[in-house]
Structure 1
Amino acid sequence: MSPSSQFSTLHKDIAWGILARVPKRLYPILACLSKNLLSLVRSPNIHEIRSSLGKDSVYICFMHKNDDGVEVPRWFTLRRTENDQFVSADDLVFPDQEEEPSIIACGPEIFFISGSFVPSSTVWIFDTRTNEFRRGPSMNVRRSFKSVGLVGSKIYVVGGYRNDKIHQAEAFDVKTQTWAPAPAPSPVQERLAFATANVSLDRKVCALLSVGDITICYDPRDGSCEVFDLPKDEWWGTGVCVIDNVLYVYYASLGLMWYDTGRKLWRVVNGLDNMKKVRSVAMAEYYGKMAFLWEDSAFVGCAMKEVWCRMIGLVRSEGGGIVGDAEPAQLMGSVPSGYRLQHCLSVSE
């Protein structure tokens, strides 16, 4: 009897209790085994159990200038306690002095991939369970500017300039902790090196560009690249996330939108008309819902600004659209007015 068949004989409460303790990054694989497992891992019940176990969190990074005028990061976490709390993550101090490394989460670990303004091959890994950094295996080549994405258990790094030459792609296998070449982007996409935000969608690495308002999706299976337009409106690098393989982007005047890959068009998330239009937002998945954070400068000239959060449930409607159900806003805390949102990551065991 196959594992999926064995699960179908279990009471759902028992099955959810078991699956809630399985690493979340394995859910897409389980969902492919049978319709029963697909239904179990997509059920809100499993997120409730994971919530009680404290399995998931959201890491938020603000950039601010220190006394020397140099921009440095300050990290916070949103964690499930009796009430969601917004707490400082003082242990998360990137060992290198390089500005703005590419950052991506895989399971309970956060990868800091150097190489932005200065070419580098250095990789650091932060384990959220132990609050410790370790040096990861270096990339095969030094890169400056690049796109990154997680597909399965591999982190892909695409593009990256050095001496005006574009490097090809390579992949880091999280299981074996090794780097290997990946198919070159075809046709060559120089713009992959200048992504405003990176996400993974349909098992592809997608770079969203604010300059030109386009998205370029790199397929690591053969290197092919697909391009589609973004709505021509103001958006932020942290106002982008993927939940259940659906790409969401928040726009200043249009609100929360999602990309319908079947129809190849952008659509508004329904049911959120009463949400105030805000700016400087951050979004990430949190126990099956979207954690939607934003800044609010309550008083002009005030030295501090408030950080608020709404949890938004997202459900497919019968007509093929997506309906959002926003919970009441919660005040997470305050940060100095000079802080600006830079990263927002979902981290899960």
Structure 2
Amino acid sequence: MAPSLFSSLHKDIAWRILARVPKRSYPVLACVSKNLRSLVRSPEIHKIRSLLRKDSLYICFMHKTNGVHTPHWFTLRRSTENSNHFVSVVDLAFPDPNEPMPSIIACGPEIFFISGSFVPSSTVWIFDSRTGEFRQGPSMNEEHLFKSVGLVGSKIYVVEGYVNDEIHHQAESFDVKTQTWERAPSPELEGSFLATANVSLDRKVCKLMAAGDVAVFYDTRDGSCEVFDLPKDKWWRTGVCVMDNVMYVYYARFGLMWYDTGVKLWRVVNRLDGLKKVRGVAMAEYYGKMAFLWREYGVVGGAMKEVWCRMIALERSEEGISGTAESGQLMGSVPRGFRLQHCLSVSE
């Protein structure tokens, strides 16, 4: 349907149509016209998707016992318009027992597990959240180790910077539509590309490193890299996400912050003074809002930790970005030794 014809539809009809379009197509639709951009960014479309139960979060806790890392996966799903269920995903068992900590990234309803954490590898496994099954994906062109990953449009980028005790910068991308790997521009950067956390922003893969408090933008178009500072405080690999092309990082001391790319400064999200200062958090987009999860002791000194969640609506204006946090919801409990490792938005 042409944009001009689509704009003639009543908004309620347009929202119901767009709510059934894969969410990964929304950034493209937002570039077509101002009308489509307004429709796909409206809270109404997320309410309809909520009723259709289109989206979910996949949350991974890592437990280390006798030197062995064991992942435990849970999913946060919408049961009613205002209620979520937090349940264990018993069928998400990574097929490769020799790969303890693969790089993980979600694209649409699929989760990609990219091997090469301690030993160079080109292996890729794909988990389909609709069927609950794994399949082996096309192998990368090169074996990679100590890499960063990012999703830009419909392509997954793997950027590497360390092989066989030597700095070795190279990159390749996987086109989800054609299911093929191709070489990407090599990063123009000195030093390793090993990151604590990865997100994508402005067609760039951004690696954040706790050591040194810096972040690096890798431009997927030409390989150029830009380095900028992070606030000097503790943050966690899951305490970062991108929504509407804005990067957010949570700090226990400063609270929720966002990066203003226009002036290249970190700014605090306004109106979140009541947000509890916690440690060990996870953040991801969920039906147009930020799902903010954290752990805390239900009983001091107990063997279990409670997992809580607050939904935060974010709004941008000339003054900056403001947030409105809903009441916290108790999602469930996990053993105290479980550490948040991944938080992924998965959508149809």
Task: Give the letter aligned to residue 56 of structure 2.
Answer: S
* Residue of structure 1 equivalent to 2:146: 145
Judge conservation of contact 1:60–1:75 (CA < 8 Å) in 2. yes
Judge conservation of contact 2:169–2:187 (CA < 8 Å) in 1. no
Counterpart-to-counterpart distance in 2, 1:218 and 1:303: 42
Task: Give the letter aligned to residue 110 of structure 1.
Answer: I
Task: Give the letter aligned to residue 329 of structure 2.
Answer: Q
Query: Number of matched residues?
Result: 344
Task: Give the letter aligned to residue 88 of structure 1.
Answer: S
User: What is the Cα deviation at residue 179 of structure 1?
Assistant: 0.7
Counterpart-to-counterpart distance in 1, 2:181 and 2:162: 19
Task: Give the letter aligned to residue 328 of structure 1.
Answer: S
* Residue of structure 2 equivalent to 1:260: 260
User: What is the Cα deviation at residue 318 of structure 1?
Assistant: 3.7
Counterpart-to-counterpart distance in 2, 1:207 and 1:34: 31
Other structure's SS at 1:238 match: coil
Instruction: Give the alignment's Cα RMSD to 1 decimal.
Output: 1.1
Output one character per residue of 1:283-341: Cα deviation in whole Å (capped at 9) or x when no partner. 0000000000000013332110000000000001342x101000000000000111110
Counterpart-to-counterpart distance in 1, 2:88 and 2:17: 32
Task: Give the letter aligned to residue 70 of structure 1.
Answer: V
* Residue of structure 1 equivalent to 2:45: 46
* Residue of structure 2 equivalent to 1:315: 315
Alignment of 1:22-61 (within 5 A): 22-61=21-60
Alignment of 1:126-165 (within 5 A): 126-165=127-166
Gaps of 5+ in 2: none
* Residue of structure 2 equivalent to 1:101: 102
Other structure's SS at 2:257 match: strand
Establish whether residue 223 from structure 1 lines up as the match of residue 223 from structure 2: yes
Other structure's SS at 1:235 match: coil
Task: Give the letter aligned to residue 178 of structure 2.
Answer: T
Counterpart-to-counterpart distance in 1, 2:190 and 2:147: 11
Judge conservation of contact 1:159–1:190 (CA < 8 Å) in 2. no
TM-score, normalising length: structure 1: 0.96
* Residue of structure 1 equivalent to 2:181: 179
Task: Give the letter aligned to residue 100 of structure 1.
Answer: M
Judge conservation of contact 1:118–1:144 (CA < 8 Å) in 2. yes
Counterpart-to-counterpart distance in 2, 1:184 and 1:199: 18
Establish whether residue 306 from structure 1 lines up as the match of residue 306 from structure 2: yes
* Residue of structure 1 equivalent to 2:111: 110
* Residue of structure 2 equivalent to 1:91: 91
User: What is the Cα deviation at residue 69 of structure 1?
Assistant: 4.9
Gaps of 5+ in 1: none
Judge conservation of contact 2:106–2:112 (CA < 8 Å) in 1. yes
Question: Sequence identity of aligned pairs in percent?
Answer: 74
Q: 2:68 aligns with which of 70, 85, 89?
A: 70
User: What is the Cα deviation at residue 167 of structure 1?
Assistant: 4.2
* Residue of structure 2 equivalent to 1:342: 341
TM-score, normalising length: structure 2: 0.97
Task: Give the letter aligned to residue 13 of structure 2.
Answer: I
Establish whether residue 329 from structure 1 lines up as the match of residue 328 from structure 2: yes
Judge conservation of contact 2:162–2:192 (CA < 8 Å) in 1. no
